[in-house]
Amino acid sequence: MNIKRTVLVGATLVLTALLVACATSKTDQLRAEGKVLLETEWVLTSLSGNALIEDTQISLSFGEGSLEGSAGCNTYQGSYTATEDSLRLSDLYWTEMGCLEPEGILDQEMAYLNALNTVASYRLAAGRLELYDEAGTQILVFGPRETGQSEPTETTPGKTGSAVLQDSPLMATIEAPESLPAGEVVNVRFTLTNISSEGFFVLKWFTPLEGLAGDIFQVQRDGVDLPYRGKLVKRGPPISEDYVWIGAGGSISAEVDLAEGYDFSQAGQYTLHFRSPRLSHTAKTLGEQADSVDELEMIRIPSDPVSVTIGRPS
């Protein structure tokens, strides 16, 4: 046998073993420090042994001592502490939208949120995150969240993005700068237009007309969705002050800083798309305004996305 080749093969095997040992040691250290979940994102695949309702998705992501996600209809946030194998969730709170479809989505959501409150331990195996209760019963199973998703079609570089939907009396327009340095405010002007021949009141909930009070925009950086990290509002029944009047053919505008809820600190191509609210209401008179969540419904407010180039700080 060639001596040089034998030495080379031996050295390669030793180096490989050292690299594996180092990687294992690092993972073990992170697990011991309770940091193995940090900056991970997951989607639910099993809820108490059952698959999710078709066309619904539940997500969970871990930050530095904080967690957040979508429960299917509402978004939620909270805190967590983790050790080598234990996991405790606390201070959970969520928005209070009343999604009507698909059937059973709110029951599924409440079952999930109740399950989160009973989590006592976790296990990472084969690319899955498994959560267990105090009795050691597996209650939730997650798979890794896809890091890339397709961009909304036909983005407009800065300027204005708008769209019209035949069966909707409303249209939204987004205006944003074409480019900004990283770390600056990202002011977006939102305009809601009544394209019908009659004036009406419209609920401001889940639109920039009430400020940035939830995950009301889809924000992507280079095609990857960014999580919402801003404030969430816990809502009661709607009141008259929650409505705004828009005359026939009229518009109303508001400006919000998206950097208050999304991370624009990195350079890249950002796509901004207003999410049509799942829960809203219109009324032709004050007497027709809703006074309970049960009277609200999904209203489609179409808009086109816009793109903003974020550069490095000057």
Where along the chain do its domains lie?
A: 41-144, 156-311
Structure-block tokens of residue 34: 């309770």
Question: What pLDDT score was predicted for residue 161?
Answer: 46
Query: Predicted confidence band at 167 (pLDDT cuts at 50, 70, 90)?
Result: low
Say whether pLDDT at 262 is over 70: yes
DSSP state of 209: B
Q: Quote the percentage of the chain above a pLDDT of 70.
A: 80
Residue with tokens 């109740």: 114
d(CA 276, CA 180): 26
Is the CATH number 3.40.50.1000 carried by domain 156-311? no
- Does the pTM exceed 0.85? no
Question: What pLDDT score was predicted for residue 32?
Answer: 52
Question: What pLDDT score was predicted for residue 14?
Answer: 46
Mean model confidence pLDDT for the chain: 81
Question: What pLDDT score was predicted for residue 278?
Answer: 65
Average pLDDT over residues 213-226: 87
Question: What pLDDT score was predicted for residue 150?
Answer: 36
Q: Is 41-144's fold the same as 156-311's?
A: no
CATH of 41-144, one of 2.40.128.270, 3.20.20.140, 3.40.50.170, 1.10.645.10: 2.40.128.270
Query: Predicted confidence band at 152 (pLDDT cuts at 50, 70, 90)?
Result: very low
More confident of the two residues 36 and 268: 268
Distances (CA, A) of 117 to 53, 110, 176, 309: 21, 11, 40, 41
Average pLDDT over residues 69-77: 87
Q: Quote the percentage of the chain above a pLDDT of 90.
A: 42
Distances (CA, A) of 135 to 83, 123, 145: 18, 14, 28
Closest CA relative to residue 186, chosen from 310, 273, 45, 86: 310
Least confident of 21-35, 114-128, 239-253, 265-279: 21-35
Residue 221, beta-bridge partner list: 224, 270
Distance, CA of 307 to chain centre: 19
Sign, Cα dihedral of 61, 66, 72, 75: negative
Least confident of 29-43, 50-64, 201-215: 29-43
Q: What is the dihedral of CA 47, 53, 55, 56, to 10 degrees?
A: -40
d(CA 255, CA 176): 10
DSSP state of 300: -
Angle at 121 between CA 117 and CA 34, to 5 degrees: 110
More confident of the two residues 225 and 263: 263
Helix (H) / strand (E) containing 6: helix 3-32
